[in-house]
Structure 1
Amino acid sequence: MSMGRKRKFKPDIPTHIDQLALPRGIYWDDGRWFIYTPHAEGGRAVKKTVAYKSARLSDLHAVVEAQLLGDRRGTLRFLFDRFHESMEFRELSTDTQDDYRRYAVALASYACKDGSALGDVLVERITTPVVQRLVETFAIGRDANRYQPALPATPSKANHLYRYLRRTLAWGVRSGLCARNPAVGVRQAKEVKRHRMPTPGAFEKVLAFARERGALPSHTKGSCPSYLAPVMVLAYSARLRGIEVCTLTDAHRRHEGIHGQRRKGSRDSVTEWDEEMVRAWDDLVARRSAIWNRDGRNFPVPLRAENRVLLVEQSGNPMAKSSLDSSWQRFITLALREGVIDKEDRFSLHGLKHRGVTDTVGNRGDKQDAAGHQSPVTTGRYDHDLPVVKPPRRR
């Protein structure tokens, strides 16, 4: 078998590398080691940087071997995959697992200075300064250049990605896949607290718009899902998160009111019925029944009340939180386009809980009980009511 043409001596190759022992298929140029990889669309092969000046000869052989075997062992992407197969990951909630998978994709596909993907970098090459620069880049954004696409400034996303990376690396240390956790000691980005709570006027306008467009036939121009108006009412009146609305079942309907089963350590509470809440609940039950009995499909209805979810997809299955979020974004964008509210009045679905806590009659303790918060500090983040106090009196 032909061994190919003998390499010519290159004086700029680092002196600690034995050039005669270099593996085939790896080359040195412009201060970095690279290989040629096939173009994604079948065109000419492209350069892919795999190591820098400090790389050892054994590292270069490992890179070539990994390419030949299609192995990513030791890379950040490999660590992510192993973490997602672990028991620790399986014990997480479904929503957290979905979030972590998105974070893994965002980190693994992050373009480095040379255009290579962060997921292909060896974990042992990732240092604390590298993680710090990564957090700062996502936090303050980045303009596009020759090798890297532009990134918007997203401090919140930067911190989410950092916390996922820190947890994954910590698991890697415990599992023997990492020697250390370079994410420890990294400073997180400063986030601007935004509640995006609707003004009373904006809430009423958007709710009326949701009822108007929800009454139109499905999949017609200008229509929106009929469940959005009832969801808005329940999220506001019972001070519920979106996921808490998605997991309401027939068992949560009590004679005295709606049993709000809360997340994130909050206490459950029962919100007494009012006319709007009764209408919203009945509308969702009627919608669910129509879907389950459509065209004589005989959908298998769960016998136990706690298994009959109130909010369902068109398929009849429970609605995922991601589906509700997507539907809400399309709807609120439509409301902006139709001039129902201005851009500065845009609010989030979670902002309805802020509005509900703020509008709760009573003192801070009453609002804390209504929201199910363990601490009055948390209630303070949801209660945006401006207290009216008396002036001091001279003695």
Structure 2
Amino acid sequence: MSISCITPSLSAQRAEEIARSFDLRNLPQEFYANPYPIYDWLREHEPIRRMPDGSLFLTRHADLVSVYKDAQTFSSDKQAEFTPKYGAGSPLHEHHTTSLVFNDPPLHTRVRKIIMGALSRRAIAQMEAGLIALVNGLLDRIEEQGDGDLIEDFASAIPVEIIGNLLGIPHTDREPLRDWSLAILGALEPKLSREQEELGNSSVREFKSYLQGLVKERRQHPGDPEHDVLTRLIQSEAELTEIELLQNCIFILNAGHETTTNLIGNALIALQEHPQALSYLLSIHEHSAQEVRQQTTDFDRNSSIEARWDTAIDEFLRFESSNQLGNRRATYDFELGGQTYPAGTLLTLCIGAANRDPSVFTQANALQLDRSPNKHLAFGYGIHQCAGLSLARLEGRIAVSSFLQRFPDYQLTDQPVRGGRARFRGFLRAGFKIS
């Protein structure tokens, strides 16, 4: 297939038309296919955009950083927004107002500390061998078939297994995890249909019911708290209520699944649009072999290879941010861009736009896999920076590098299907074949 049509171009005139009437609750299909020309116009002409609902839409990197830094002024608590959206007492309301990401200290501090204990550098290093084995098993299956789907057969299968292992979910119980996650996160979209709301609520109910049984079993047969996040959470019940325990288990799956799936899928599909970037990655090991003559140990060589891959993964995260939007609510009057705004103002932080801000990134709309430094905001910033960022980078590096080493000549067989969401940018399907 032609690889030039994966991300369609948008004329400057059409981008301006969409930007001038920009409303997250009423977006045209062109936006979902390629939002970046619209973000470019907003960042240049209206970087603090007053939305029809009175909220602010921020697109400059510096503005996002200033909001992220000031957690006292800019709250992550979403009660005020989620109560009218979902209805008080609904499963979606209970979940999204209890999970780590939409809370402030002290709940945020307590839960993050527990989770981070299972995501230490040592713990993540111990996951690497199992992750490599998992990826190789998926690649073996693809090689037997001769083709597959980049998302269903590869990108989405990896984080589901990794998070399933962290929570100690039996393999026989993992089939519904991806669908639950997609439905719950899909309900975070700015415009929510009745069908999305019903599916999101039923997914929270089903997942919560499943977890209640799993928690009961784990209380009777605890796992190793150094690796089993669920056991760690259970043993910290003095600090967590039952609802906080269950809902943050759901959050761990959602946070670790969707963004990592998008990272891997976006990277492999972007390489089909950017053959020079693909050639660069395929040459990394060849260049590293030439450097061995000047290095004394395999550790030095492997560190060099991993460093280049880590740099490339960060660029994929910047170029196509898995999570495009964040939200805050002002608890005090504040100043931004020379204007004063009142307490209670809602803000949408456009990570996808900030990560292509030309004041921070040279050739911001170009994919440069050796970009350094790279001050992207794909993992957020400040106290809410992604707790699993090191694990996500590891999954991305091993998944993409192993795939390319095995199938350097892979080709898409049909037009990839995007997720059609504003908050999370990724693909649902992408058929491919191997040569």
TM over 0.5: no
Instruction: Give the greater-gyration-radius structure (CA).
Output: 1
Q: TM-score, normalised by structure 2?
A: 0.23
Of structures 1 and 2, the one with the larger relative CO (CA 8 A, separation 6+) is 2
Give the structure with the higher percent helix: 2
Q: TM-score, normalised by structure 1?
A: 0.25
